[in-house]
Amino acid sequence: MTQPDYELERALHAQGYLRIAGVDEVGRGPLAGPVTAAAVILTPAQIPQGLNDSKKLSAKKREMLETSLMAEAEVSIAHATVEEIDRINILKASHLAMERAVAALDPPPDYLLIDGNLIPKGLRTPSEAVVKGDGRSVSIAAASIVAKMCRDRVMVDLAQQHPGYGWEKNAGYPTKQHREGLQNIGVTPHHRRSFKPVHNILYQE
């Protein structure tokens, strides 16, 4: 299994960029909860062993890596709310969360490696979109882990307030338990009303 490395960052260092942030988001697909983004600046000495795309790691390994990253690296996390998702759409909201995460880094980065094929329009920092970046760049992989861990905790907290949807396990994704909860319990303030399964329940004929 190939793992992300520091090659993209190293090439940018050679061009004179010193503060390179990896940026990633999590939570585009769920029916509930915010979309969360993280921006992480790593030096080679701060790369924890076993760092990889968050989707390829066990929950325990993610937790260990997050602890290490929060202690060693420069990390910033931001969200876009359910209201923002419904108002401007999920793609723009995920970009808004990324822009907020980048803006919170102080001092600011001088180059961004962004997971995906699009660069958020609101970013003024030189940037590069990296398709499947969490499998290529350690900085993006670090951002993917930090964003996922933070958002999962948000959903566990919301699950205490709204039991029956399984958010503590499914993080708001449309699992069978979540869909059944929507049908049987109804729509909460944390559901994304612009998403079809939620919209259809709200506006049933």
Q: Establish whether 110 is an annotated binding residue.
A: no
Q: How far is CA 65 from CA 3, 32, 133, in A?
A: 14, 26, 18
For residue 113, the 8-state DSSP code is: E
CB 24 within 8 A of CB 145: no
Is 31 buried (19+), middle (13-18) or exposed (0-12) by CB count in 10 A?
Answer: buried
Angle at 8 between CA 6 and CA 12, to 5 degrees: 110
Q: Considering only the C-alpha atoms of the chain, give the largest distance between any 2 of them, rounded to a whole number of Å.
A: 61
Query: In Å, how far from its chain's centre is CA 69?
Result: 15
Helix (H, G, I), strand (E, B) or coil at 74: strand
**134 labelled as ligand-binding?**
no
86 is in an annotated binding site: no
| Residue linked to tokens 């997971």 | 115
What 3-state class would DSSP assign to 137? strand
Instruction: Please enumerate, by residue number, every residue annotated as part of a binding site for a divalent metal cation.
Output: 24-25, 115
Instruction: Please enumerate, by residue number, every residue annotated as part of a binding site.
Output: 24-25, 115
